[in-house]
Structure 1
């Protein structure tokens, strides 16, 4: 068992877009193995591997046929073992993605249910139609269509909170729970350090299947995702029961044991910090991340509100980008290096866990894609106003030129329209690069113990945010200018790291970290 992670910095790897070693144009697990040195040099504590399981790839690997088998297009179990071993030698743990809420509709259980196996059917959520043939209730899926799909084979509806290709499991079913426990034991025995748990707030729903009421304007403002869908018109008080779902998180903790680090995804929309905190604790998950953090990246007042609501409970990871979100350098700026460095400085001084997405350390902007180049079902459904998941998954540029940029010798599975300055090779030896800044900032985060403060205070004055941090390593002050004009900052402290700082002034998107 690897060392127990504590408030770690975690680097997310999306294997299909990390590195291709087989010349198929699609990243693979051997590519992850080859790229571990780059991740180690950043100074992170763990990597999170996005799904690599057997999957029809309807939803980028989150529609799973076998939770204990590797998709042959990506590699083998031996590759996973090699990644875990090499990462461990480099001082990093490995987290694997655990999707417990649903399976693929190609899963053997679901196929057996379609063939009339009632035991298999009870592992999912099947219900008869109303007398007029309509679905059991008014619930809508997160993607847009109704959350119920009719099966002619069974003459029943099945429940899916996401795509119709992702039928929801009945987590109250004993056979489902036994299988989940076996899956967790399987990966724990292979040496992984923990799990990233997909959509933990979707683990429970109203067993009476009562209709959701209409959403008020206030509620609609809190619902995550595109507004142009029926889902945004409902108050999700019955199809999502986070007050019950955390009990399943307790079971996951029991199955995983105390040494594994567990981080969950809270998908109840922004302003869901309290829900995330309810899921975390010594007998639950170590941390739960929520879109509140992403939403706050642009304004100091939002940080102030989050600090007040967390009230010293630093179990909510800081993150700005992921495989599900458009890249932060573009969504919170102009996609320029100054924005990327500014966001790095802010994140790396925050308390608690930190989560980075591959390419964030290079300051990658969100690529522009044509609709014909997009596979992601969410982006296609809401085009051109989707979440930008496809652009976030454009492969990583390592070196060289188009079309492969060192990612692949073949045509990449998604077009790579990077510039040479974006590549790992170009930034490697440049002390002014975003990559160099991330390395310095993460080193300072470790040395100064910013993840585990003894005391931290945040003040906002106009566009200037000041964070005073006391840790076991010393006393520090971090200042950030969120505005469009220069701001004056106090002198006298010993500067440790800065961007956009000169002669007592911080430029727009400037940051200064000093020791008191």
Structure 2
């Protein structure tokens, strides 16, 4: 049996602080707001909070542009507020994992303010500076947020690299002094009592030092930097060093955002004996259905493809590394709108089906705030309702560039845009969903009167109660954590099915991803007479060869 670890047995809940709970009426969520809602998370039963960035930041990219790694964003409160929230969480048995954003900083960080002053400034090599080439950018790389990845700086007549916004200059990990600054900062938080880090785009910290041009595809203006930036030449060396100097000193959970990482990469990042990270996030399942416009699409996907992605990761990491499991997060649309059915008729039943499908797989499950309530995407009518820099840049490039008309772009953004996850949390049916007494920084989804926490916490049939039961089962049954995953009916166009096996125990999980009803034949000797651990329907309808599945039905059969 593989080694037991607390983070394998945990359920993680992601909080996007700006949109979670506002305690002082300024329209922005904050640390005291989070503290006031910890009892709700205790009731849900989660073990760990992953806290999106709360550090000092000018907020060009909602806190992922950090100007001081050892201070708290003014809108979110103070370092004392953070300590109080951490202490309260620990008192309730909830761990706190922070977001580590060290591929880049803000251009307002003192390191960068110094770095741009002169070529011989002691902080110059904390960032990636290059001379112009033929009077233009050092190479043809494009930024992940659109436009060039290089920004000209007049002071020294050179360019700096920014893989994201121009206000997010990339840190130079080739510089050992910079790396030591990062390790010192991580240690500082560790000694403050935090329980680990989720590491933003950590697979991008090592760049190919030749800085070659990337391939230009189709009608794109810029070259693809990913072969030279994702999983770069020294990334494993840096993470092993980070583990040795910091991570190994604490009983932490570490998860890396694995941009461009495949199964083989994951074995190196999160392999049992690699001494780097505990797990990484893959993007393959959420990137399905991409179009010639990149991520911008109607969000549709092919179920067989989706199953094959999960199968590849489950089979590939079995016994050698650990999976992380998620449907959505602060960068993805709402799970029930993308993978389920958010209509009035099927929203609840399909949200429970998606929860079943994910939480019984092998890996650590992540819940994004509001997912446990079945919160949905919001259908915005106008681009003025969005706040996300990625959406604004995409509008500039696609609509401004004459590639897409405004109506199509709005349809794509409503389906797949990041702001879907960032509209405020629905606490109750009062004004602004109980999120704030002021004017929210981004408007609230209009369906909050129907979909909110107050309506669900005491309802035994609610999505919230269903998640609560899923989490309880995970805490009670080792097979859900450690059982071996095996795909079933992989080519079935409508049903997601798999088994989990541990010793003489076995689970058969079956999930109908359609509103159509159908017969389904069970395998591995299961008949439908076994104990049902959890289901979003009250009974089992048996057929001659198996079971009859109703719209979005999910069942977990158990036998010993």
Query: TM-score scaled by structure 1?
Result: 0.91
1:105-137 CA-partner distances (Å, limit 9, x unpaired): 11111111222262111110011111x211111
Matched, 1:469 2:500: yes
Aligned to 1:513: 556
User: For 1:114, which of 113, 116, 119 is the aligned residue?
Assistant: 116
8 Å CA contact 2:351–2:374 kept in 1: the answer is yes
The answer to whether the aligner puts 1:333 opposite 2:376 as a matched pair is: no
What does residue 323 of structure 1 align with? 330
Structure 1 position 245 matched with structure 2 position 276: no
Name the SS of the counterpart of 1:419 in structure 2. Answer: helix
What is the CA–CA distance in structure 1 between the aligned matches of 2:377 and 2:220, rounded to whole Å?
A: 24
Deviation at 1:41, TM superposition (A): 1.6
Q: 1:513 to 1:295 in 2, by over 3 A?
A: farther
Map of 1:222-233 to 2, 5 A cutoff? Answer: 230=221
- Pick from 103, 121, 126: which aligns with 1:123? 126
Distance 1:473 1:191, change over 3 A: farther
Report 1:66-465 matches (<5 A). 66-116=68-118, 118-130=121-133, 132-214=134-216, 230=221, 234=224, 236-258=226-248, 259-268=251-260, 272-281=262-271, 282=273, 283-295=275-287, 298-299=303-304, 300-335=307-342, 336-369=347-380, 370-383=382-395, 384=409, 385-386=412-413, 387-402=416-431, 404-416=432-444, 417-460=446-489, 462=492, 463-465=494-496
Residue 324 (structure 1) shift: 0.6
**Deviation of 1:295 (Å):** 4.9
Q: Once the two structures are superposed, what CA deviation does each residue of 1:388-420 show, in whole Å capped at 9, x if it has no partner?
A: 111210110101333x21111112111112332
Q: Alignment partner of 1:355: what SS? A: strand
Structure 2 equivalent of residue 222 of structure 1: none
Return 5+ residue gaps in structure 1 as ranges: 218-227
Alignment check: 8 A CA contact 1:454 1:470 kept: yes
CA distance in 2, matches of 1:103, 1:56: 11
Aligned twin of 1:485: 517
Query: Aligned residue for 1:503?
Result: 541
Cα-to-partner distance string for 1:73-100 (whole Å, 9 max, x where unaligned): 1011112212221211222211000011
> Deviations along 1:279-310, whole A, 9 cap, x unmatched?
11340000001112435784434433433333
Contact 2:314 2:362 in 1 (8 A): no
**Alpha carbons of structure 1 residues 327 and 380: separation in structure 2 relative to 1, 3 Å:** same
Per-residue displacement from partner, 1:194-227 (whole Å, max 9, x unpaired)? 0000101111111111112345x9xxxxxxxxxx
Large movers: runs of 4+ above 6 Å: none
After TM superposition, give the deviation of residue 368 of structure 1 in Å.
2.0
**Greater mean alpha carbon deviation, residues 147-156 or residues 251-260:** 251-260
Which range moves more in the overlay, 306-315 or 255-264?
306-315
Count of paired positions: 498
Checking the alignment, whether the CA contact within 8 Å between 1:200 and 1:265 is kept in structure 2 is: yes
Q: TM-score scaled to structure 2, two decimals?
A: 0.84
* From 49, 56, 59, the counterpart of 2:51: 49
SS across alignment from 2:390: helix
Separation (CA, whole Å) in 2 of partners of 1:230 and 1:366: 31
Deviates more, 1:331-340 or 1:436-445: 331-340
Deviation string 1:305-349 (CA, Å, 9 cap, x unpaired) is 433333444512010110011111111132212221111001110
Contact 2:528–2:540 (CA<8 Å) still a contact in 1? no
Say which SS state the counterpart of residue 316 (structure 2) adopts. Answer: helix
8 Å Cα contact 1:351/1:450 also seen in 2: no
> 3-state SS of the aligned residue for 1:162?
coil
Unaligned stretches of 5+ in structure 2? 289-300, 396-408, 543-547
In the alignment, which residue of structure 2 is the partner of 1:225?
none
Distance 1:473 1:314, change over 3 A: farther
